[in-house]
Amino acid sequence: MSGGRAVPAFTSATTDEAISFCVGVIDSSGVADELEALIKKRTGRRRHLNVRSLLVALLALAVDGRALHLKAATKLLFLGLPPTWREDLGVVGEALGRKPFLARYRQVRYLFHLVLSAVDPSVEAKDRVLPLVEAEARRKELSPEEVACRQERLERFMGDLLEASVKVCPAEELAGYDGSVGLDATPVPLWSRGPSKPAGTSASDPDGGWYVREGDHRDRPGPEGKALRKIYWALDAHIVTMGRPPGAPPTWPNLAFGVLLDKPGHGPARNGVKLLAQLRRRGWPAGYLGADRGYTQCLAEDFHLPVRALGYSLVMDYKVGELGRQASDQGAVMVEGAFYCPAMPEELVNASADKRAGRTDEVTSRSRTAARAKWRLVRKEGPDQDGYERFSCPAQGQRPHLCCPLRPGAAERALGEVPVLSPPELPPKVCTQSAITLAPDVGARYRQDLAFGTESWARTYATYRNTIEGLNGFVKDPAHEALAEPGRRRVRGVAAQSLFVTLLLMAANFRKVATFRHMVAEGRADKVAERARRRRVSLSGYRPPP
């Protein structure tokens, strides 16, 4: 295997193989050296512990399925490491006995919070529950420029660490990756008590927010002013993961590519675009982007247009009120993300809405959705560098799809094709010109390349949505990373949680790489691509034996 790294079997965090692997990954990220430069002080006592050893210890705990507690990192560094690795990592001192151990524990805590001080964009006090007045008085005074600088550092270091976990795969193992991704936000419960309005107290971790099940998951009044049910105090982890085409055999592992943390329901568009832009800057290709309705409802200028500018092709679903006609320009009518002839019959326009409302059955809905293809405008050119595209009427060309009286020259070539029975009385430009040019902001919020509701769209959307949902469940497995267990991540604040979540996603990536390689070695890749049986109950299990 050229490049990459062999992922060891992590039977213990203190084995020579496990420590060597973690050291190699941390060194390849370059994060430890950059953090050392940021926290270096010219005066004061020299530190006897470095950032490199701290990150190695935390990563070793993560890949071994242990809680990311600073006390556990202290035990690993001062009591669990072999002497050769202690010397290599610069770990000096003993921790035999209660007082020596507490002294080393203070060293680890001091270094960890010193690192956080260089990348923490939060101004909140987060050591305990405080009265609101005291919490307000204890907020740090940071300029907007300093907050933005720390946020940029935090995001860059998280990206560098995750990139190092992806680069465990050699170039040939990722050579077939087409750039398609899944994007979603998943709640990360915090080791914190939420704020109390009756008591007038703040949360012990004010960087979080209430996660609610309904709507966009942010804490806000519901219908008729009623409060939505609050689930827990949490942060949202916006995660982007690699994806494979529908039904394709696995030729690369689907790894977590990037992560950003924010309050629940806050900034899904902003955080999603940041992650995708980060991937493009790192040289990864752009393909399909599978995103749920939480991103569909974002403003086009905040999400859809930037995503398309980055080269991604959106595959998304719509709410009931967004089905049917969505936009129009020069006579071209957008129906569920694609542009169609203005004379397309109403039963085809409303095919998806009728299905959602239960007015048509599955067979009828599918036939109507498939019939739309004849009425779809034909792309002639583009999109160009500005996003403009040229479309022509489907009744034109050497092989027209429609037989339209407004295109008499093409009528002979369209014999036997779908007739246009009700052409517009006042023909718009799409009916009179050879082609029209559509700007990228026309229906930008709903625009997608795959025809909504078709088999191709359904399989593609389901594939990338299931990929990201599968990763969310994978990293929340309580036997391994246990992302949903706040007691395993007890340091408060968005900076600390960002580092912990990144390390857990790195550990999840290593598990995925090891599983993928094992599957390929056994020749099971093609079998994995086969569609699993969805029948969970069978009468054959109830038949008596002969």
Q: How far apart are CA 340 and CA 369, in angstroms?
A: 12
Mean pLDDT of 261-271: 92
**Among 256-260, 435-439, 526-530, which is the least confidently predicted range?**
526-530
Task: Tally the domains of the chain.
Answer: 1
Q: Higher-confidence residue: 228 or 503?
A: 503
Containing 418, the helix (H) or strand (E) segment is strand 418-419
Any domain includes 428: yes
Over 80: is that where the pLDDT of 3 sits? no
Mean pLDDT of 503-507: 97
pLDDT digits 0-9 by tens, 64-76: 999 999 999 999 9
Any domain includes 332: yes
Any domain includes 411: yes
Any domain includes 478: no
Over 90: is that where the pLDDT of 382 sits? no
Q: What's the whole-number average pLDDT of the chain?
A: 90
Any domain includes 425: yes
**Among 4-8, 327-331, 384-388, which is the least confidently predicted range?**
4-8
Short-list 274, 260, 273, 261, CA closest to 300: 273
Any domain includes 196: no
Containing 471, the helix (H) or strand (E) segment is helix 455-475
Over 70: is that where the pLDDT of 224 sits? no
Over 70: is that where the pLDDT of 532 sits? no
Q: How many residues does the chain have?
A: 546
DSSP reduced 3-state for 186: strand
Q: For the range 29-33, what are the long-range contacts, defined as Cβ-Cβ under 8 Å and sequence gap of 24 or more?
A: 29/160, 29/161, 29/163, 29/164, 30/160, 31/55, 31/157, 31/160, 31/161
The pLDDT-based confidence of 447 (bands split at 50, 70, 90) is very high
**pTM (two decimals):** 0.90
Token couple for 293:
């309705």
Q: How far apart are CA 115 and CA 503, in angstroms?
A: 15
The reported pLDDT for the residue numbered 222 is: 41
Mean pLDDT of 496-513: 97
The reported pLDDT for the residue numbered 1 is: 41
pLDDT digits 0-9 by tens, 118-173: 999 999 998 889 999 998 999 999 999 999 999 999 999 999 999 999 999 999 99
DSSP states of 71-132: HHHHHIIIIIS-HHHHHHHT--S---SHHHHHHHHHHHHHHHHHHHHHH-------SS--BH
The reported pLDDT for the residue numbered 231 is: 79
- The CA-atom distances, in angstroms, between 297 and each of 218, 303, 321 are 14, 9, 11
For residue 449, which amino acid is it? D
Q: How many CB atoms lie within 10 A of CB 38?
A: 15
Domain membership of residue 366 as a residue range: 324-443
Any domain includes 399: yes
The pLDDT-based confidence of 538 (bands split at 50, 70, 90) is low
Burial of residue 280 (number of CB atoms within 10 Å: 0-12, 13-18, 19+): middle
The torsion angles phi and psi of 266, rounded to 5 degrees, stand at -100, 125
Mean pLDDT of 230-256: 91
The pLDDT-based confidence of 230 (bands split at 50, 70, 90) is low
Strand residues in 114-213 grouped as ranges (E): 181-189, 209-212
Over 60: is that where the pLDDT of 286 sits? yes
For residue 283, which amino acid is it? G
Instruction: Cis check for the bond before 189: say yes or no (omega within 30 of 0).
Output: no
The pLDDT-based confidence of 410 (bands split at 50, 70, 90) is low
Bridge partners (DSSP) listed for residue 274:
none
Residues 374, 394: contact at Cβ < 8 Å? yes
Residues 60, 53: contact at Cβ < 8 Å? no
DSSP reduced 3-state for 498: helix
Q: Higher-confidence residue: 541 or 191?
A: 191
Residues 404, 410: contact at Cβ < 8 Å? yes
The reported pLDDT for the residue numbered 520 is: 87
Any domain includes 79: no
Strand residues in 317-377 grouped as ranges (E): 325-329, 332-335, 338-340
The reported pLDDT for the residue numbered 223 is: 40
Residues 212, 230: contact at Cβ < 8 Å? yes
